[in-house]
Amino acid sequence: MTTICILYPDLLGTYGDGGNGLAAVERARRRGLEAELVSVGLGDEVPDASLYLLGGGEDGPQRLATDLLRGSSFVSRVRDGANVLAVCAGLQILGMTFCVEGDDEFEGLGLVDVVTLRGERRSVGELASRVDGQLLVGFENHGGRTTLHGVDALGTVIKGRGNDGTLDGYRTKNIWATYAHGPVLAMNPWFCDEILAAVLGAELEPLTSVADQLYQERCRVLSA
């Protein structure tokens, strides 16, 4: 049984990123794989899982989620290699520091060497980046500007701002991070499959769904 775990959807669910869990579990099940979706709420222990999902959120809830995660088994699990997809606030939380509520600097979980400062203006709108030759599409809404230190970016921005107007997110051996909401795994089935394949250590047969067709249409519009 593959367990996919959404962390604090009450705090980090403002932009519907919990849909990443639904998309991942559904695409696994359509391949005949047994998968369950669990979510961690306030006061819950972080369970063992094949993939943890961190979503986006507003500044205050982001800070609270960071404190809760800092005091949980999540940090050691990720250090030991647990897989994580982190979106926006989630991306910032895993880093060294981020700014919330104005320019106040707040300590992240220190799992990835990235720093997020307050950008000059908020980044709001469509976001598209090129990731290993594929398009990753979604939307962004954040005040942070993220700098990577010796960490690979996930993608190169072709529309919108992402981390800094040039790069989006980051990629380590067990973490995928992006500024793209959507939910990003529902809007980008190939990305969902890439993460599932890595997490399960298995090749996945191709799948044709409405999500795959919509993704193709979005790419056509972006490339026109």
Does 168 engage in binding with ligand GLN (CB under 6 A)?
no
Q: Crossing angle, helix 189-200 and helix 19-29, to 10 degrees? A: 70
Using the contact rule CB under 6 A, the part of the chain among 51-59, 70-78, 167-175, 193-201 near ligand GLN is 51-59
Cβ atoms of 89 and 12 closer than 8 Å? yes
Sequence-distant (6+) residues with CB within 8 A of 60 are 100, 101
Q: Which of 4, 59, 177, 189 binds ligand GLN (CB under 6 A)?
A: 59
| Dist. CA 83–CA 87, nearest whole Å | 13
The interface with ligand GLN within residues 6-45 (CB under 6 A) comprises 15
Q: Which of 89, 115, 135, 187 binds ligand GLN (CB under 6 A)?
A: 89
| Dist. CA 114–CA 161, nearest whole Å | 16
Taking the complex as a whole, the smallest distance from the CB of residue 222 to ligand GLN amounts, in Å, to 21
Taking the complex as a whole, the smallest distance from the CB of residue 91 to ligand GLN amounts, in Å, to 8
The interface with ligand GLN within residues 135-164 (CB under 6 A) comprises 141-144
| Dist. CA 130–CA 118, nearest whole Å | 25
Taking the complex as a whole, the smallest distance from the CB of residue 60 to ligand GLN amounts, in Å, to 9
Taking the complex as a whole, the smallest distance from the CB of residue 90 to ligand GLN amounts, in Å, to 7
Q: Which of 9, 21, 56, 108 binds ligand GLN (CB under 6 A)?
A: 56
Cβ atoms of 151 and 169 closer than 8 Å? no
3-class SS of residue 146: strand
β-strand pairing of 2-7 with 51-54: parallel
Contact footprint for ligand GLN (CB under 6 A): 15, 56-59, 62, 88-89, 141-144
